[in-house]
Structure 1
Amino acid sequence: MKILLVGAGGVGGAFAAIAARRDFYEQIVIADFDAAKAERAAQADGRFAGARIDASDAGAVEALCREHGITHVMNAVDPVFDMPLFDGAFAAGADYVDMAMSLSKPHPEAPYEKTGVKLGDEQFAVAHDWEAAGRLALVGMGVEPGLSDVFARYAADHLFSEIDELGTRDGANLVVTDDDGNEVFAPSFSMWTTIEECLNPPVVWQDGAWHTTTPFSEPEVFDFPEGIGPVECVNVEHEEVLLMPRWIDCKRATFKYGLGDEFITILKVLHTLGLDRTEKVRVKGVEVSPRDVVAAVLPDPASVGPRMTGKTCAGLWVTGKDKDGEPRSTYLYHVVDNEWTMREYGHQCVVWQTAINPVIALELISRGTWSGVGVLGPEAFDAVPFLHLLEEYGSPWGLREQAIREPGLASS
């Protein structure tokens, strides 16, 4: 296996640090628009090489794949680049792994009632081409989406006979401070991606169809495990809702994220001022995207680890009936402590938790444990080998029984 890792930022750097401890591949070419950043990341292991790439150019992706004999393209950049990387991998004869999916476009007349172009629609539209070529595009294989989808497969196969709701719930108690110890606003993940998913109309799967709602709707307080505690979570557009119902029978699928009042206020202000826009505007003779400017002026998520404390939790709340037909409510989760990831890997916990899952998936693919063709999500594969390997990597997952609730009710 020869892997092209596109992106040497926070998640890409963590991916490389995790993969450096494994032996399932022959080479990883780390490519970034910033060639120096890629070269620095490549110094971590003798099996790594650095290269420059323009991720917006499918032809450049294809050429770099052919130059290095790449078998698998690993996408670790913002989802705006998904389709050029996806198309470039296909043109080069390589398989593809993504931690997100192709971007959505809201319904032009009724964005908060109807779906427009959904997350992943562009990729699923050409699934038959990947199938005909006998090739695999594994999409949504980060932590959320990704591990949460693995949890859904595990719950459907081993815990539940009927599923009312697959409810992804994400929360943390992370704090970032400045040099004087004062708490500061510093997103722990790509701000470009965060704006995209938080300000788009959230999608909910209900009664056999996808619907949309308003941003930050249906707030509920969820009590997260391992000391994180209660966090208010709200609806956010996310890939799980578009993936899980394709392979798993459920009455409802949701994604709720613990953003916090300050973050929600900031996002609303950015939207009001038009600073969430991706279309370029001319400023003193230079064309710039407002969202790119916002992302550029905030701290790099890869750099905040030494000033961050706390834990992050990704998980899936499943309700329905157990294998004996009795009501069941279970939260499957994965908690990561920033102190541990910084000490063990030198990367902050949010990017590390995102990066470990595609590394595991690629290892399972290299072994032949996971195999398939077409455009597939993590739900299409056996969850047990994945969860065993997650534990082997030194990062265990948990399971907690919840109070029984009616489907869709906002309580914890």
Structure 2
Amino acid sequence: MRVLALGGAGAVAREATRDLCQHGSIFREIVIADIDPAKAERLARDIGDPRLRVVPLDVRDEEALVRLIRGFDVVMNGLPFAYDVLVTRACVEAGVSGVDLAFDEAQFELDEAARSKNMVFIPGVGATPGTTNVMAAYAARSMDQVESVEIAFAAFRCLAPSPGLLRTTLWEFNPEEPERAMVYWEDGAWHPAPPFSGEKRVRFHEQIGEQTVYYVPHDEARTMPRSFPGLRRAAVRGCFPPHVMRAMRALYEMGALSSTPVPLDGGAYPAIDLVARLLAALPASRENPVWAYGLVVEVSGRRNGRPHTMVLRNRHPPQEVWGGEAAYYRNIGVPLSIGVQMIARGEISARGVVPPERAIPPERFFEELARRGIEILTE
């Protein structure tokens, strides 16, 4: 089989590519397609797997993307979320199954077309969304009725490890982000929530400890009401390291995360864009004392007519074992790789464009995570 890794040399996806090489014995060829082939070649040399090949690709050329995809058995998309719909559309056009790191509601509009091609595309197979969705599905199996899904994450990384991840952080706290109008689901409707609202203390694994998390407009909550009919509540809260949270709160309170143009040197620029340029240039934005990823999912409902709650937590090797920043990135890249390998091995029977909680068998997914050192613990 042949797998195509779109953006497979990126900050997150490189760990997925490494995992494909280490655990993806089903693949006879692993191709990294990237707009920067020199960067991809460096990664290929570093990994040293003879199955690796690099092709240059500008994903914005959709016709070229479809032609490329048609030569493969499965696609692993590690590109920034701005390309999610484009890649999904190209996979459906080519009739080739795949997985993606992020969510976009428009992807699910391609569900019927994907079913007609007898293929599956799973958006959001990273840490959160991704592993958290599968954790929720695992808990739901123990209940007759799911009533609430509460997801919390602690993304312990530096502020600006890459332009895309810096933008992700700023997006989390942008008060003008349209998705802030639909942050949590409660009693049959979506509700808005401003940045730094919904404060809650959550205990993560020992590398992170107890942290304060806040409502974020993450997409994993969006599919829960459809996946679990009768769901009363679904919410995602998150945080970054304390020094990043302090910086984001100060910028938010100053209005510096706004898209409103501000005058500067005879021009006018969105404040958030100016902040992004400044933060990207600061050396401190690329430093972090602890690299780790914490996930906690609490699912409540009823079992045998009685209230029942299950809490699931992740745990992974520390940065001293996994090598600095890899202790963060592997928690995102490894699930992406596992998802594409499960499709290739025929372990996913779902068809269409389907969220992780409805597509990925939890037990097998957790087994594969455990093989890599990522544990999912239940309470």
How big is each residue's C-alpha offset from its partner over 1:23-45, in whole Å with a ceiling of 9 and x where there is no partner?
Answer: 12222211222221111122221
The gaps in structure 1 that reach 5 residues or longer are 103-119, 177-184, 401-412
Of the structure 1 ranges 332-341 and 25-34, higher mean CA displacement relative to structure 2 is found in 332-341
Is the alpha carbon distance of 1:50 and 1:309 closer, same or farther for their aligned partners in structure 2, counting shifts above 3 Å? same
Moved more, 384-393 or 33-42: 384-393
Q: 1:73 aligns with which of 51, 55, 75?
A: 75
Whether 2:222 is the aligned partner of 1:218: answer: no
Distance of aligned partners of 1:347 and 1:261 in 2 relative to their CA distance in 1, 3 Å threshold? closer
Matched with 2:342 is 364
- Candidates 308, 330, 338, aligned match of 2:310: 330
CA-CA distance at 1:252 after TM superposition: 0.6
Matches within 5 A, 1:5-404: 5-7=5-7, 8-22=9-23, 23-43=25-45, 44=47, 45-66=49-70, 69-102=71-104, 120=105, 122-158=106-142, 160-171=143-154, 174=156, 190-199=165-174, 200=177, 201=180, 203-226=183-206, 228-249=208-229, 250-259=231-240, 262-267=243-248, 277=259, 290=274, 293=277, 296-297=280-281, 308-309=289-290, 311-321=292-302, 323-339=303-319, 342-343=322-323, 348-381=326-359, 382-400=361-379
Identity of aligned residues (%): 28
Report the AA paired with residue 84 of structure 1. L
Structure 1 length-normalised TM: 0.78
Deviation at 1:6, TM superposition (A): 1.7
Secondary structure, aligned partner of 1:388: helix
Task: Find the aligned partners of 2:137 and 2:121 in 1 and give their Cα distance.
Answer: 18
Aligned residues: 362
Higher relative contact order (CA 8 A, sep 6+): 2
Structure 2: stretches of 5+ with no match in the other structure: none
Looking at structure 2, the residues matched to 273 and 326 of structure 1 have their Cα atoms a distance apart, in angstroms, of 47
CA distance in 1, matches of 2:157, 2:172: 22
Give the letter aligned to residue 226 of structure 2. R
Instruction: State the one-letter code of the partner of 1:24.
Output: I
The code of the aligned residue for 2:3 comes to: I
- Say if 2:122 and 2:354, in contact at 8 Å, map to a contact too: yes
**Does the aligned pair in 2 maintain the 1:167–1:317 contact within 8 Å?**
yes
Letter in 1 for 2:370: E
**Structure 1 pair 308–36 and aligned structure 2 pair: CA distance change class (3 A):** farther
Counterpart secondary structure, 1:368: coil
Instruction: Name the residue aligned to 1:109.
Output: none
Q: State the shift of 1:292 in Å.
A: 6.2
SS of the residue 2:141 aligns to: helix
Amino acid in the other structure paired with 1:384? E
CA contact (8 A) 2:26 2:344 kept: yes
- State the secondary structure of the residue aligned to 1:97: strand
**What is the identity, as a one-letter code, of the residue corresponding to 2:2?**
K
State the shift of 1:18 in Å: 1.4
- CA–CA distance in 2 between the matches of 1:284 and 1:57? 36
The change in CA–CA distance for 1:96 and 1:197 in structure 2 (over 3 A counts) is farther
Counterpart CA distance in 1 for 2:35 and 2:279 is 16
Partner of 1:126, secondary structure, is helix
- Per-residue deviation, 1:46: 1.1
User: Given the superposition, is the C-alpha separation of residues 3 and 269 from structure 1 closer, same or farther in structure 2, using an over 3 Å criterion?
Assistant: farther
Structure-1 separation of matches of 2:4 and 2:218: 25
Q: CA deviation at 1:310?
A: 5.3
Query: In structure 2, the residue corresponding to 1:215 is in which secondary structure?
Result: coil
Listed one character per residue, the Cα deviations across residues 198-221 of structure 1 (whole Å, up to 9, x for unaligned) are 323151111223232222211011
Given residue 217 of structure 1, which amino acid in structure 2 is its aligned partner? S
TM-score normalised over the length of structure 2: 0.84
